[in-house]
């Protein structure tokens, strides 16, 4: 079991940025949310899906 | 990644408890990965990290089921169109309402915009509701036209022509209107449909020359029609039109 999910999250982000995903989006602006409420609002307004990683805080 | 809204969740937090109730993952271990569509549908929810090509494959699959992603401008256009549509429809200005909603066609056909964003869902909902209203009205009008009462038939034909004028530009009801027209304005109803059109056109005359022509058409209709309710309706419209002309 990994101890820090911050490490995982960071690793995931690094992987994602190197992946070429099919660009159906009209904009490539990166949107990160600092709270779940904000994430839901951004997602509902734009149609972007939420990518969430749940783990233990460090 | 720009196509996702990334967030970290602490499994000991109250918001995670609620999140887990809404998006139950497969497995209890951590980390847990989730992809949740904009309308709240869980596309992926499992414990354990993904390795190698599994992660990009999962993300690509999730995006394919996530619908269209809107720019801020597109989201605003949809919200404005929905507001305008609602306002105009409430006032009974159906043509204006349809016109307002038609402006967002470049994003997607209203009623079928392939996005799970709230503005798109709202526009779709409004158009689908309106489509259902029009279809219900057409069903009612069809049963009236199928009746053997001349008064009801005329009323229904006038209702259909008004409905076509108001909602004819709405793509989702075009086939319903066309089917109604094909079934109920031909053969035995052909004369009724033709004469009802003259009455509706007269009703819409908004300039002096159009009103003069409408008076001529109505007078001719009154002298020639074999349908008594049409004659009565045409006389009523003619009287109204003459009063308007006299008033100025």
Residue B53 has pLDDT above 70, yes or no: yes
Place of tokens 């507001």: B83
Percentage above 90 pLDDT, chain B? 89
Q: Do B8 and A32 touch (CB under 8 A)?
A: no
List, as ranges, residues 9-48 from A with C-beta within 8 Å of B. 9, 12-13, 15-17, 19, 21-33, 35-36, 39, 42-48
Q: How far apart are CA B136 and CA B139, in angstroms?
A: 5
Rounded (5°) CA angle B18-A55-A30: 85
ipTM attached to this prediction: 0.82
* Domain limits, chain A: 5-46
What average pLDDT does the structure give for chain B?
Answer: 94
pLDDT-wise least confident of B34-43, B85-94, B128-137, B237-246: B237-246
Cβ of B141: how many Cβ atoms within 10 Å? 22
The residue assigned the tokens 């995982």 is: A8
pLDDT at position A24 is 35
User: Looking at the partner chain, which of A23, A49, A56 has a beta carbon nearest the beta carbon of B35?
Assistant: A49
pLDDT band per the 50, 70, 90 thresholds, residue A1: very low
Element (H, E) at A8: helix A5-17
Give the strand pairing for A50-55 and B5-10: parallel
Does residue A25 surpass a pLDDT of 60?
no
Mean pLDDT of B192-221: 92
Closest Cβ–Cβ partner in A6, A19, A54 for B56: A19
* Chain A residues inside the 8 Å CB shell of B42: none
- The set of residues, in sequence order, having a beta carbon less than 8 Å from that of B178 and lying 6+ positions away, is none
B86-90: Cβ within 8 A, 24+ apart = B86/B126, B89/B130
The answer to whether the CB of B221 falls within 8 A of the CB of B212 is: no
Instruction: For chain A, say whether B184 makes contact (Cβ under 8 Å).
Output: no
Sheet order of strands, B42-47 included: B5-10, A50-55, B32-36, B42-47
Length of chain B: 248
Which H/E stretch holds residue B158? helix B150-167
Residue B105, SS3? coil
Strand residue runs (E) in B92-174: none
State the pTM of this model: 0.83
Where are the strands (E) in chain B, listed by range? 5-10, 32-36, 42-47
At residue A32, the pLDDT reads 54
Contact A3/B at CB under 8 A: no
Nearest to B159 by CA among B175, B144, B176, B179: B144
pLDDT at A22: 36
pLDDT category at B205 given cuts 50, 70, 90 is confident
């Amino acid at each position: 079991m990994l101890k820090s999910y911050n490490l995982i999250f960071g690793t995931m982000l690094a992987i994602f940025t190197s992946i070429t995903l099919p660009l159906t989006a009209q904009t490539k602006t990166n949107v990160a949310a600092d709270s779940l409420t904000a994430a839901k609002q951004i997602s509902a307004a734009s149609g972007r899906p939420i990518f969430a990683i749940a783990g233990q805080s460090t | 990644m720009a196509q996702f809204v990334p967030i970290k969740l602490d499994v000991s937090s109250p918001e995670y408890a609620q999140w887990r109730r809404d998006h139950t993952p497969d497995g209890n271990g951590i980390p847990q990965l989730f992809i949740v569509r904009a309308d709240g549908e869980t596309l992926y929810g499992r414990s354990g990290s993904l390795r190698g090509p599994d992660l990009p494959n999962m993300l690509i699959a999730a995006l394919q089921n996530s619908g269209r992603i809107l720019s801020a401008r597109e989201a605003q256009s949809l919200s404005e169109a929905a507001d305008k549509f609602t306002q105009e429809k409430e006032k009974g200005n159906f043509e204006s309402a349809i016109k307002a909603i038609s402006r967002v066609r470049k994003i997607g056909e209203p009623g079928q915009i392939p996005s799970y964003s709230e503005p798109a869902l709202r526009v779709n909902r409004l158009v689908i509701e309106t489509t259902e209203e029009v279809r219900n009205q057409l069903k009612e009008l069809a049963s009236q036209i199928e009746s053997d009462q001349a008064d009801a038939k005329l009323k229904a034909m006038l209702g259909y022509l008004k409905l076509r004028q108001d909602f004819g530009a709405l793509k989702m009801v075009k086939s319903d209107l066309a089917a109604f027209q094909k079934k109920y304005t031909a053969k035995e109803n052909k004369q009724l449909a033709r004469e009802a059109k003259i009455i509706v056109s007269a009703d819409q005359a908004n300039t002096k020359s159009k009103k003069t022509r409408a008076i001529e058409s109505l007078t001719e209709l009154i002298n020639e029609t074999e349908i008594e309710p049409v004659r009565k309706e045409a006389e009523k419209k003619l009287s109204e039109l003459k009063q308007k002309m006299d008033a100025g």
